[in-house]
Amino acid sequence: MSKLVTIFGGSGFVGRYVVQRLAREGWRIRIAVRHPNQALFLKPYGAVGQVEPVFCNIRDDASVRQVLQGADAVVNCVGILSPGGRNTFKAVQAEGPGRIARLAVEAGATRLVHLSAIGADAGSDIPYARTKAEGEAAVLAAFPTAVILRPSVIFGPEDDFFNRFAAMSRRWPVLPVVHGKTRFQPVYVDDVAKAVVAGIERAAPGVYELGGPMPEAFRDLMRQMLTIVMRKRPLLDLPVGLAGVMAATLDGVQKITGGLVSNKTLTRDQLRLLARDNVVSPGARGFADLDIAPQAFEAVIPEYLWPFRPTGQYARLRPSIKL
Q: What percent of the chain has pLDDT over 70?
A: 97
Fold classified for 4-158+184-215+277-296: Rossmann fold (3.40.50)
- HSE-CB for 273 with a 13 A CA cutoff: 24
Stretch 173-180: mean pLDDT: 94
Does the pLDDT at position 253 exceed 90? no
pLDDT at 283: 95
47-58 pLDDT, tens digit per residue, is 999 999 999 999
User: Lowest-confidence range among 146-150, 195-199, 313-317?
Assistant: 313-317
User: Lowest-confidence range among 146-150, 283-287, 307-311?
Assistant: 307-311
pLDDT at 83: 80
Split at pLDDT 50, 70, 90, the class of 320 is low
pLDDT at 67: 98
Split at pLDDT 50, 70, 90, the class of 323 is very low
What beta strand segments (E) does the chain contain? 4-8, 28-33, 51-55, 73-76, 111-115, 147-151, 154-155, 175-177, 183-184, 187-188, 206-210, 216-217, 235-237
Closest CA to 221 of 180, 270, 192: 180
Closest CA to 167 of 308, 309, 315: 308
pLDDT at 313: 80
Split at pLDDT 50, 70, 90, the class of 230 is very high
256-281 pLDDT, tens digit per residue, is 887 777 777 788 888 899 999 999 99
125-168 pLDDT, tens digit per residue, is 999 999 999 999 999 999 999 999 999 999 999 999 999 999 99
Split at pLDDT 50, 70, 90, the class of 316 is low
Stretch 294-304: mean pLDDT: 96
Give CA–CA dist 203/205, Å, rounded: 6
Mean residue pLDDT of the chain comes to 93
Q: How far is CA 260 from CA 78, 82, 145, 254, in A?
A: 21, 13, 40, 7
Does the pLDDT at position 183 exceed 60? yes
